[in-house]
Every structure is written in C-alpha cells, then in structure tokens.
Amino acid sequence: MSEQSEPTSKRTDGKAYWRATIRLTVTLLVIWFAVSYGAGILLRDTLDQFSVGGAPMGFWFAQQGAIYVFLILIVVYCIGMNRIARKHGVEG
C-alpha cells in the first residue's frame, strides 16, 4: 500500500516544487525588468528630478542601480531556491 502511494506523493511534491520555482523566477524577472527597463528608460525623465550622488536618478538607475538590483536578485534567488528545495525535500 505504501509503495503505491509513494510515487503519487513524489509527483505532487515535484509539481509543487516546480510551481514554487517558476513563481520565484518569474517574480524576480519582473522586478529585474521593471528596474532595468522601467526605471532606466521608461521613467527616466521622472526619476531625473532626483539625484543620487550628484547624478540624475534615471541615469544612475541605467548605469549602476540596475546592476546593484541584479546582484541583490541573485542573492534573493539563491536564498529562495534553498528554502524551496528544503521545503520540498530536494537535494542538489
């Protein structure tokens, strides 16, 4: 009886694992797009009203801010994937 139920539970855990992985990946990609394209290009004129370190904020986002956010997103992705793997019992 337990042998029959084990593949079903593994399949369910696999689906939940991939669903959580895709949700995390898509969320981080949307943030990356919003920061790099939105703040650096679309909202540049609005953000240029403010300054960061003497540079207009829109320019700063296009040149440095998007890179900083990208590095933060890499750390968030690593932490998030470790949590998801632990939660679903996946070893990598």
Q: Map 12-80 to HEC letters.
A: HHHHHHHHHHHHHHHHHHHHHHHHHHHHHHHCHHHHCCCEECCEEHHHHHHHHHHHHHHHHHHHHHHHH
Q: What are the distances in angstroms from CA 70 to CA 1, 59, 75, 82?
A: 48, 16, 9, 18
What pLDDT shows up at residue 41?
87
pLDDT tens for the 92 residues of the chain, in order: 444 445 545 555 788 999 999 999 999 999 999 998 888 889 888 999 999 888 899 888 888 888 999 999 999 999 999 999 999 888 76
Residue whose entry in the numeric block shows the structure tokens 């998007």: 66
What pLDDT shows up at residue 25?
97
What pLDDT shows up at residue 12?
55
